[in-house]
Amino acid sequence: RVRAVLKPTLDLLVGIPSVVYGLWGVLFIVPLVRDRIGPWADQTLGQVIPFFSRINPSGYGLLSAGFVLGVMVFPLVVVVTEEVMRSTPREVREAALCLGATRWEATKLIVRRQALGGVLAAVVLGLSRAFGETLAVMMLIGNTVKTPQSLFDTAYSLPALIANNYGEMMSVPLYESALMGAALMLLVVVLVFNVLARLVIVRIQRTV
């Protein structure tokens, strides 16, 4: 019964356009960070750990963008994980039940091990989407070219940098080269991350 409610909801969340997530972040998450989370973190943790100090009081920054990215990616990971778990051969589950295991023990000890590679692949898929996300991050991160000094500070992601400047600055050869370099760097980072993750998945599948 719970699955009958959650599955359509998660499928709906996966299909929502990123601009809607960005707008939700601007209307709800940014004010929450600005008025509630930022002052609380600055007073309780900022005096001890500078990374939690509220350098930027506007609410736009790493925390707001990261929170919305997490909300965007989480349903995708859950949906793919659920599909992987359900695709585990029925015979494996039934064999565990025949040996006296409960349904929970069969899921925990057998199905989870069988599906571990697929679950990691789902996490990699979600992180890859987060790496390449442009619009929602561009609306929330502040788009300031600098090294962030705090969790609440503004920054500039590579996809947002490319999207903001690709059209108007392409007439400047040096700037065009810089944007192409940023795109290449983003491609290499995502590619290396996926290759390493694939190697880890293959290694885990061999040990299962």
% pLDDT > 90, the chain = 14
What residues make up the domain containing 157?
Answer: 2-207
How far apart (Å, rounded) are the C-alpha atoms in residues 65 and 138? 8
Q: What is the pLDDT of residue 27?
A: 94
Name the token pair of 160. 């947002």
Confirm whether pTM is higher than 0.85: no
Question: What contacts 90, CB < 8 A, 6 or more positions away?
Answer: none
What CA–CA distance (Å, rounded) separates 141 from 130?
A: 13
pLDDT in tens, 136-173: 888 999 888 888 888 888 888 888 888 888 776 667 77
* CATH number assigned to the domain comprising residue 91: 1.10.3720.10
pLDDT band at 32 (very low <50, low <70, confident <90, very high): very high
Percent of the residues in the chain that have a pLDDT greater than 70, as a whole number? 96
Report how many domains make up the chain: 1
Higher per-residue confidence, 86 vs 188: 188
Instruction: Say how far apart CA 125 and CA 9 lie, in whole Å.
Output: 20
53/21: higher pLDDT: 21
Distance CA 184, CA 201 (A): 25
User: What would the two tokens of residue 63 be?
Assistant: 């925390």
pLDDT at residue 69 in the model: 92
Mean pLDDT estimate for the chain: 83
Burial of 26 (0-12, 13-18, 19+ CB in 10 A): middle
User: Residue 61 and residue 29: Cα distance in Å, rounded?
Assistant: 11
Q: How confident is the model at residue 96 (pLDDT cuts 50, 70, 90)?
A: confident
